Structure 1
């Protein structure tokens, strides 16, 4: 991985954070979409749900789907990262998904990425820290 990426903590919801790319995770067995992906889906008028229903959004570990946000999110692009089954999501899966997401953001030449915490709602992050 080459290039650089700005890292910081922002308490705003993912859809409001200004960045080159927003990143949200989805579990293969959680429908409707929840957390940041669910909020992004709502702002995108159900685009992510339609991709799921059309089998065009892969939620398996290591998978990723890039979609344009058409100004409906502060970031112009949303990278949706597959997290696999929730029951199998642990520390190693979290590390793997985060590394993959950051590597993809760098590969997209993103100087600034907004990554919603995987596996936990952002408003609960401080409680779990």
Structure 2
């Protein structure tokens, strides 16, 4: 790519990563980001997600990233609840930016705070190999 993205220092080792968004045209790009870190992307519909369906989907994941910009409010609570019930690593991307999504992935994987918030979080970048 013309603009080479700096890569975060992270390897997901084929963990199943749920991407909670509604019907979204950026899904492919987000899946691409998960692939880039060797994760397996699994889209979760966070708009008309029926509670039971959502629970079944989340139960089998390793990580779930919630894109709040694309999710219905009550779905947000359900996802958070199921993630904690099944010990799924969880983080929130509050903006639509890919960078924000990538950082959420990093926070989830490293068990850092789910929300970016005000605290300073260090995102280590991968060394060029």
Structure 1 length-normalised TM: 0.39
